[in-house]
C-alpha cells in the first residue's frame, strides 16, 4: 500500500502514480496500466487516473472510487515524473509553435513528421531524451534549476558511458533553458514518424552502453545499427546529397 494512502481510491489522484496497479475492493479484479482494459477498449499504458470517469470494474461494474492500491512502483517518483511531463510538454509546444510560425513552408521540412519528445528520463537532476521534429532530431537535456548555464549558443561537452558529446545551450519561452546535441538535420531520409521514433529510442539505448566508447574516448559511430532501416531503395537515392550526411551519435556530434 502506498504510504499515506489507505482505503479506497476515492479520486485521490495526487497519491498514486501513473504506474499504480489498482484492485477492486468488491471483487478483487485488478487494473494494471501496462495491460489496459480490453472490455472498454482502454489501450495498454493508460494510467488509472486517466481512465474515463464512467469507467467501471470489468468484473462487477463497481465505480473507480471502489478501487484500492494494490501496488504502486512509481509512487516515490510520481512528482518527478509529473515535472518531467510538464517540461517535455512545454518543449513540444515550443517547437510546434516554431514549426507553425516559421518552418512549415521551408523546403527542408519533412511533412511526414511532427514534433515529439521521445524516451525522456530523469538524468542528473534534470531530464534527458530525444526531440524529433520535421526538420531535426536532437538529443536534449532539460537541466535542473541550479545548473550552471552558458549564454545562448555556448558549447558544453557532456560525458555519457558511450563517450563525450557536444551540446549547445539555448532557451525558449515555454521550455526555459535547455541543451541540445544534433543527431540528424535535415530529416529527409525518414519516411514516417514511427521510423524516426524508433531511431530516437535506439539513440537513448546506445547512449548508455560503454561498449560504444571509441579508443579515442569519443562516442562510437552507432549509425550502422540503423543504416539498413533508414537507407532508401537504390533507385531513389538523392543525387544532390549523399545519405551519409545523417548523423547519429558519432564522435564529435554536430561537428
Percent above pLDDT 70 for the chain:
76
Q: Which residue has the higher pLDDT, 213 or 19?
A: 19
Distances (CA, A) of 115 to 26, 98, 180, 230: 43, 10, 15, 19
**Please, are residues 180 and 140 in contact by the beta-carbon 8 Å criterion?**
yes
| 37-51 pLDDT, tens digit each | 998 889 999 999 899
The cell for 148 is 550552471
Q: Which pLDDT value is given to residue 214?
A: 62
More confident residue, 255 or 143: 143
pTM: 0.62
What backbone torsions phi and psi does residue 176 show, to the nearest 5 degrees? 80, -160
| Percentage with pLDDT > 90 across the chain | 58
pLDDT, tens digit, for every residue of 185-209?
Answer: 999 999 999 999 999 989 998 999 8
As a dihedral over the C-alpha atoms of residue 197, residue 237, residue 239, residue 181, rounded to 10 degrees, the angle is 20
CA dist 242 and 228 (Å) reads 15
The predicted structure's pLDDT at residue 12? 55
Instruction: State the CB neighbour count (10 A cutoff) for residue 122.
Output: 14
pLDDT (average), residues 127-152:
97
7 or 18: which leads in pLDDT: 18
**Three-class SS state of 13:** helix
Contact status, residue 197 vs residue 118, Cβ threshold 8 Å: yes
Instruction: Provide φ and ψ at 46, rounded to 5°.
Output: -85, 120
Cis check: omega of the bond before 186, within 30 degrees of 0: yes
From the list 165, 156, 160, 163, the residue with the least C-alpha distance to 217 is 163
Comparing CA positions, the residue from 177, 5, 179, 23 lying closest to residue 78 is 5
Q: What is the CA radius of gyration of the chain?
A: 22
What pLDDT is attached to residue 66?
86
DSSP at 247? -
What is residue 69's predicted lDDT score, i.e. its pLDDT? Answer: 85
Mean pLDDT of 148-171: 95
Instruction: Report how far residue 132's alpha carbon sits from residue 55's, in angstroms, rounded to the nearest whole number.
Output: 34
Please name the residue that has the C-alpha cell 521521445: 118
Predicted pLDDT of residue 251: 32
Structure-block grid coordinates of residue 92: 513540444
Which three cell numbers mark 29? 479484479
pLDDT of residue 75: 74
Q: Which residues pair with 132 in a beta bridge?
A: 116, 137
Distance CA 32, CA 16 (A): 13
235 or 101, greater pLDDT: 101
Q: What is the mean pLDDT of residues 95-110?
A: 96
Three-state DSSP state, 163: strand
- Reported as a pLDDT band with limits 50, 70 and 90, residue 212 is confident
Amino acid at each position: 500500500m502506498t504510504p499515506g494512502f489507505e482505503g479506497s481510491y476515492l479520486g485521490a489522484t495526487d497519491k498514486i502514480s501513473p504506474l499504480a496497479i489498482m484492485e477492486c475492493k468488491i471483487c478483487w479484479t485488478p487494473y494494471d496500466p501496462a495491460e489496459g482494459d480490453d472490455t472498454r477498449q482502454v489501450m495498454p499504458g493508460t494510467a488509472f487516473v486517466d481512465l474515463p470517469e464512467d469507467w467501471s470494474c470489468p468484473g462487477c461494474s463497481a465505480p473507480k472510487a471502489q478501487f484500492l492500491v494494490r501496488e504502486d512502483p512509481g509512487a516515490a517518483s510520481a512528482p518527478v515524473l509529473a515535472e518531467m511531463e510538464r517540461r517535455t510538454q512545454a518543449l513540444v509546444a515550443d517547437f510546434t509553435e516554431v514549426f507553425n510560425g516559421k518552418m512549415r513552408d521551408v523546403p527542408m521540412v519533412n511533412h511526414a513528421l511532427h514534433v515529439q519528445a521521445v524516451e525522456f528520463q530523469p538524468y542528473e537532476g534534470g531530464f534527458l531524451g530525444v526531440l524529433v521534429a520535421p526538420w531535426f532530431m536532437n538529443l536534449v537535456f532539460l537541466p535542473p534549476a541550479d545548473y550552471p548555464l552558458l549564454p545562448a549558443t555556448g558549447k558544453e561537452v557532456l560525458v555519457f558511458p558511450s563517450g563525450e558529446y557536444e551540446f549547445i545551450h539555448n532557451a525558449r519561452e515555454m521550455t526555459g533553458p535547455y541543451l541540445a546535441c544534433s543527431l540528424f538535420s535535415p530529416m529527409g531520409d525518414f519516411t514516417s514518424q514511427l521510423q524516426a521514433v524508433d531511431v530516437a529510442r535506439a539513440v537513448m539505448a546506445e547512449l548508455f552502453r560503454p561498449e560504444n566508447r571509441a579508443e579515442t574516448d569519443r562516442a562510437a559511430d552507432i549509425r550502422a545499427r540503423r543504416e539498413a532501416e533508414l537507407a532508401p531503395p537504390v533507385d531513389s537515392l538523392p543525387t544532390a546529397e549523399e545519405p551519409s550526411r545523417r548523423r547519429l551519435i558519432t564522435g564529435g556530434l554536430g561537428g
